[in-house]
């Protein structure tokens, strides 16, 4: 094992691990452990960041409710992941679709590595990193249904959604034995697992729950753009851990994923405000943050499989597609995807997964594949299979969950409750004191 200097204040943490590795008893690596711990914290930051990003986009009377829709995911899905979610997602395979319950309550999930997923970090650290993904994903869905969904129903909805949509998709794409993984589909950090499923579920839920009162003729403009910029900035920061940590190692692929994340996101932000300038003669702060977000979504599935030039192209093209769906398709069909979760995450995730199949190359990552551009058009088959599977699972299960919940509880706020605002109705709180 190659020797390297460790700062004294880190020595106590890493030397026991390195000693084990030197004796040949373990392959745990101090650098990988440190980086994955940091990446886990960065991804966890993304959920409260999304809360403020979404919170600034709604009207004042729904600020707390919208923030809570993201923040409550931290509590619900930490418990769900520990009790059974992790085992269903990554546990021993059942039919290529779901894991069994052998790892429920983190049984067999300890300090030793699980070589099926990583030989260099403890199994429990891998589980915690993946938990941060599971927390964030259902929070994205809330962007399609804010300002008219009752909070108790939402809590049950996302719990069921995480169990019936996220956990199976996670296993199929990332879990050992998952059929989409075994087909050779590449999804480095969650283009299909996270963005396609959450985006299409948001659209489905928005249609089933119905439009906000006054949609189309009342002003539903964002009330706090600084919140949007604050939340978006921390989302951007956290996304570097989100993408670069997905390889589970502190190595050259991690560095490439880090670079790709920055190139794609900033390129996309620039493209979005240029489109705004051409279309509306103004460049907005909201447009810049939205553009950055679409670039992050687009690069997510290919972050560790494509080179910097591909990241630049993804950054150029993803905001164009997302802008078209946000500004044209949404207006054409009249659905009320409140905060454009479908337009940005759903379509951005689809495009990113497709572009991964086009631009992926083994020169970047030996664990990946050569894509369409490198003489392997067959790579598009598993990519498209993953996308179609994610859409079907998201739409069918979201419809089923909402229909069942509607049989015994109130999912949609009444007209009078919407008028008062869900901050008071569901939480008894106000975001701002009256002046």
Q: Along the chain (435 residues), what's the average pLDDT of each consecutive run of 10 residues?
A: 43 41 68 97 98 97 98 98 98 97 97 95 98 98 97 98 98 97 97 97 97 87 96 97 96 97 98 97 97 98 98 98 97 95 98 98 96 97 98 98 96 95 95 76
Query: CA angle at residue 68 from 153 to 79, to 5 degrees?
Result: 75
Residue that the structure tokens 């249904």 belong to? 145
CA dist., res. 309 & res. 307, Å (int):
6
DSSP 3-state of 98: strand
- The torsion region of residue 248 among left (phi > 0), alpha (psi -120 to 50) and beta comes to left
Question: In the prediction, which pLDDT does 14 show?
Answer: 40
Cα separation of 310 and 263, whole Å? 10
pLDDT of residue 217: 83
- Cα–Cα dist 113/174, whole Å: 17
Instruction: Give the number of other CB atoms < 10 A from CB of residue 334.
Output: 10
Q: Which pLDDT does position 21 carry in this prediction?
A: 41
Q: Tokens 């630049």: give the residue.
A: 312
Q: Which domains does the chain have, with CATH numbers?
A: 29-409 (1.10.3430.10)
pLDDT value of position 37: 97
Q: Please write down the long-range contacts of 7-16, taking CB distance under 8 Å and 24 or more positions apart.
A: 10/34
Distance from the Cα of residue 238 to its chain's centroid: 11
**Cα radius of gyration rounded to whole Å, the chain:** 21
Mean residue pLDDT across the chain? 93
What does the pLDDT look like over 402-422, one tens digit per residue?
A: 999 999 999 999 999 999 999
- State the pLDDT at residue 140: 98
Given a contact cutoff of 8 angstroms between Cβ atoms, the answer to whether 146 and 215 are in contact is no
């Amino acid at each position: 094992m190659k020797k390297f200097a460790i700062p004294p204040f880190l020595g106590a943490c890493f030397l026991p691990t390195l000693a084990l590795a030197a004796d040949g008893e373990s392959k745990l690596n101090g650098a990988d452990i440190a980086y994955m711990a940091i990446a886990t914290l960065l991804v966890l930051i993304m959920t409260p960041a999304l809360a403020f990003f979404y919170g600034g986009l709604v009207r004042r009377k729904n600020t707390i409710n919208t923030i809570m829709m993201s923040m409550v995911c931290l509590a619900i899905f930490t418990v769900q992941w520990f009790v059974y979610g992790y085992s269903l997602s990554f546990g021993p395979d059942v039919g290529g679709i779901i894991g069994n319950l052998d790892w429920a309550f983190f049984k067999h999930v300890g300090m030793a590595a699980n070589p099926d997923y990583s030989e260099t970090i403890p199994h429990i650290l891998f589980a915690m990193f993946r938990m941060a993904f599971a927390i964030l994903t259902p929070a994205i869905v809330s962007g399609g249904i804010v300002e008219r969904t009752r909070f108790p129903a939402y809590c049950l909805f996302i719990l069921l959604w995480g169990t019936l949509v996220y956990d199976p998709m996670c296993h199929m794409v990332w879990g050992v034995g998952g059929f989409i993984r075994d087909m050779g589909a590449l999804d480095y950090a969650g283009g299909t697992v996270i963005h396609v499923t959450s985006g299409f579920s948001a659209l489905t839920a928005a249609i089933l729950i119905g439009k906000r009162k006054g949609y189309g003729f009342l002003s539903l403009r964002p009330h706090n753009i600084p919140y949007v910029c604050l939340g978006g900035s921390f989302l951007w920061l956290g996304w570097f851990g989100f993408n670069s940590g997905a390889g589970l190692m502190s190595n050259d692929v991690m560095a490439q994923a880090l670079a790709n994340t920055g190139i794609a996101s900033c390129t996309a932000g620039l493209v979005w405000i240029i489109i705004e300038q051409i279309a509306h003669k103004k460049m907005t702060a909201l447009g810049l943050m939205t553009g950055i977000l679409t670039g992050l979504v687009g690069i997510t599935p290919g972050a560790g499989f494509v080179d910097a030039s591909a990241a630049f192209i993804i950054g150029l093209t993803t905001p164009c597609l997302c802008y078209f769906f946000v500004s044209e398709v949404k207006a054409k069909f009249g659905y009320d995807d409140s905060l454009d979760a479908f337009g940005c995450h759903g379509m951005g995730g689809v495009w990113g997964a497709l572009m991964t199949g086009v631009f992926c190359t083994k020169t970047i990552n030996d664990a990946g594949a050569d894509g369409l551009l490198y003489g392997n058009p067959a790579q598009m088959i598993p990519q498209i299979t993953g996308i179609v599977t994610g859409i079907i699972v998201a739409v069918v299960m979201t419809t089923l969950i909402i229909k069942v919940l509607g049989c015994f509880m109130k999912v949609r706020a009444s007209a009078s409750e919407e008028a008062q605002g869900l901050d008071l109705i569901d939480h008894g709180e106000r975001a701002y004191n009256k002046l």
